[in-house]
Structure 1
């Protein structure tokens, strides 16, 4: 559950138990969106190399969109009677992924690592979409719309990692460090 174990109320036509599960799913995506927009900004500040300006400027619209996702997710939690939590402590305590591990690095290294970040975020959204099919089609629509944008952003990243045959330099990488090395 987000921060409170008890909802204050929920929307008409939704059971409290369904609303509690939907709030859990929303809070997980809120944590992911907050982490992702901070990670994207970290990369924006730490990217170097010949393609610096292209990547630096490509990331700002992604940061802004993902910040907007966080706001939408938090407002949906409140709409369902929950209490969204966007504090740094909550994020660190409850995330199921490792902190982004690349500091100052070339554009290709960051894009390689970011490829894996986007894979994880998108996979989690898709799992939520499946679970929300029966629980709440309104929240499912939100997840679908956000996933659409995330997949587009992921394509922007992967276009830098792909050769003319469609092969990704990061294929098979299991960690951000591996993906960064492979993308060099």
Structure 2
């Protein structure tokens, strides 16, 4: 990097950029996954879930843009390609195609768990180095958690139990939620 944000060392900026690039790839993957779900949900409550997902897609795309611009602010080049998503991926590709609303929401619950946990890890990594980046990630995490709540509201019983509780894979979560 030829430059970085004032007050950050090159090593600190490199750590922040690496963390942000991982988050950028995860958010790019998430907005593609959300759009895939939007196109592939069927059955009862289709229209409500179909329309619930579009605002999530738009907000997540905006989050990706914010992180890409922060990377550029640090003097690095944000990578927004499909190859970058693949290179940075520590998760499996979304595994459901055309399926019921409940199946997709059961699987999406696990997707959000992974994204939110990783965002929280990034908050931890950047917090001591760059409070500006930490603040961006905190704000994004709050909204991601709200969307996660929207998803879980469809999976929750009146007693507070999730229909996909205990599932460790998207396929298992989908099966339990059906």
Runs of 4+ in 1 over 4 A off after TM superposition: none
2:127 touches 2:133 (CA, 8 Å); kept in 1? Answer: no
Across the two proteins, how many residue pairs are aligned to each other?
178
Give the alignment of 1:16-165 within 5 angstroms: 16-165=10-159
Give the alignment of 1:164-175 within 5 angstroms: 164-175=158-169
2:120 touches 2:141 (CA, 8 Å); kept in 1? Answer: yes
Mind listing any 5+ residue stretches in structure 2 that lack a counterpart? Answer: none
CA RMSD between the two structures: 0.6
Mind listing any 5+ residue stretches in structure 1 that lack a counterpart? Answer: 1-6
**Cα distance, 1:8 vs structure 2:** 2.1
TM norm structure 1: 0.96
Residue equivalent to 1:3: none
**Cα distance, 1:94 vs structure 2:** 2.1
Decide which moves more: 160-169 or 126-135: 126-135
